Amino acid sequence: MNPVTADDPEENAVARRVRDLREQLDWYYHRIEVEQLGHVAASDERLLGLQELAQERERELLRALRESPPAETQGGESPALMSVDTLRQALGPNTTLLEYFRVQDRILAVVVKETGVEITSVTHAPRIARILRMFQFQLSKFRLGPDYVREFQEPLLEAARYHLHELYTELIAPVRTKLQGTRLVVVPHELLHYVPFHALFDGDQYLVDSYTISYAPSANIYMQCRQKPANTAGGSLILGVPDQQIPSIYDELQAVAEVVPQAKVFLGAEASEKVLKENGPRSRLVHIATHGFFRKDNPMFSGIRLGDSFLTLYDLYRLKLPAELVTLSGCSTGLNVVAAGDELIGLVRGLFCAGARSLLLTLWDVNDSSTAGFMKSFYRSLNNRQDRALAVRESMIEVRERYPNPYFWAPFILVG
């Protein structure tokens, strides 16, 4: 991005307008959050008024961005298309890439491995939406509190496994014999972005018991992530923004800081956008524990909450974050909505555009205690093995010994 200079007053005015609108949006987003999370529920009329004012500023910002020169809004170049043969050779004998796509209501799976490519029709999208909605309903019961979870832990586990077995039967069973090796790269499509493929249950085992599993937005981006340069040295930047939903976030940050190299920890208001911009470009690992907000109506304004602002997808595209791994812990899309998946993909693409080589994300609201245990185990394993996908697998299996329900150990996905 070229800096704006005082010699170009028109560009300067546009840049100032963009900055002012971003500051106004931060104020509105904060007020909306305060009203929604306050002890006294805000009136529907007041919330609607704030949301309408925020949306008006968003429209103004989009108009201002269209007036900006190309260098101001460039979101990175698209990766060059690659041949199937190049992909097959890169996968090698131990990895299978499993990519899903939809034709009308049919979901098809493409199995790419070193020995060839096969396409299989597996299921119908409405059927997956129904099962996924029921699975998310089971996960939502964990909001009823620890006493409820302890009393009904066996029925909760049984229900989760039932729905995960349904998803396994629809999505994996038709292609299971075609998978090659012990590494599996899953490329979901639309609502499948919210399916925890690693936790799908065959009746005896979870898929992660048989495969080391990672995810990718596309085969092209998977190859680009393997080849892109990233910080192989440097410290670890750790940011945490606690709130009423994740009040014990300090325990997670402390657990992470104990095992990552050269940790710099910033909590609450100190976990600012300025800190991220100053330290992110030099960090090998970036860990952000906060909440995400996902906008189906306007994905450009999806993003994550920092201590002093809201980092939208637009902001992510302008960041320089060439980290080996960026972890977003605590982000979720809401347990009771089966969305198309575009919101999550937008966030992923924004972070990849900022330079990240791989991402560790969560598919649903996470439990404080199990997340702290998972993260400590993951980073310890990563230090020992330098294999991100294997570290995720080992940590899931370790956490599962103490917390058997997938709600606790399965929200985490490695992308890239």
Same domain as 324, residue 175: no
Residue 79 lies in a domain: no
Query: Per-residue confidence at 175, pLDDT binned at 50, 70, 90?
Result: very high
Residue 71: the pLDDT is 41
- The count of domains in the chain is 3
Residue 24 lies in a domain: yes
Residue 256: the pLDDT is 92
Is the model's pLDDT at 84 over the cut of 90?
no
Same domain as 61, residue 203: no
Same domain as 373, residue 243: yes
Same domain as 278, residue 206: no
**How far is the first Cα of the chain from the last one, in angstroms, to the nearest whole number?**
25
Same domain as 262, residue 167: no
Owning domain of residue 400: 229-415
Mind listing the pLDDT tens digit for each residue in 213-234?
A: 999 988 888 888 778 888 888 8
Is the model's pLDDT at 328 over the cut of 80?
yes
Last residue of a domain, one of 73, 105, 121: 73
Same domain as 148, residue 35: no
Query: Per-residue confidence at 96, pLDDT binned at 50, 70, 90?
Result: very high
Same domain as 267, residue 148: no
Residue 78 lies in a domain: no
Residue 1 lies in a domain: no
Same domain as 299, residue 405: yes
Last residue of a domain, one of 167, 189, 223: 223
Same domain as 133, residue 64: no
Residue 4 lies in a domain: no
Query: Per-residue confidence at 340, pLDDT binned at 50, 70, 90?
Result: low
Give Cβ neighbours of residue 409 (< 8 Å, ≥ 6 apart). 370, 374, 396, 399, 400, 403
Query: Per-residue confidence at 69, pLDDT binned at 50, 70, 90?
Result: low
Same domain as 246, residue 206: no
Same domain as 100, residue 20: no
**Joined tokens for residue 85:** 């043969």
Last residue of a domain, one of 180, 198, 223: 223
Residue 3 lies in a domain: no
When the pLDDT of each residue in the chain is averaged and rounded to a whole number, the result is 84
Q: What is the 3-state secondary structure (H, E, C) of the chain?
A: CCCCCCCCHHHHHHHHHHHHHHHHHHHHHHHHHHHHHCCCCCCHHHHHHHHHHHHHHHHHHHHHHHHCCHHHHCCCCCCCCCCHHHHHHHHCCCEEEEEEEEECCEEEEEEEECCEEEEEEEEEHHHHHHHHHHHHHHHHHHHHCHHHHHHCHHHHHHHHHHHHHHHHHHHCCCCHHHCCCCEEEEECCHHHHHCCHHHCECCCCEHHHCCEEEECCCHHHHHHHHHCCCCCCCCEEEEECCCCCCCCHHHHHHHHHCCCCCEEEEEHHHCCHHHHHHHHHHCCEEEEECCEECCCCCHHHCEEECCCCEEEHHHHHHCCCCCCEEEEECCCCCCCCCCCCHHHHHHHHHHHHCCCCCEEEECCCCCHHHHHHHHHHHHHHHHHHCCHHHHHHHHHHHHHHHCCCHHHHCCEEEEC
Residue 116 lies in a domain: yes
Same domain as 253, residue 178: no
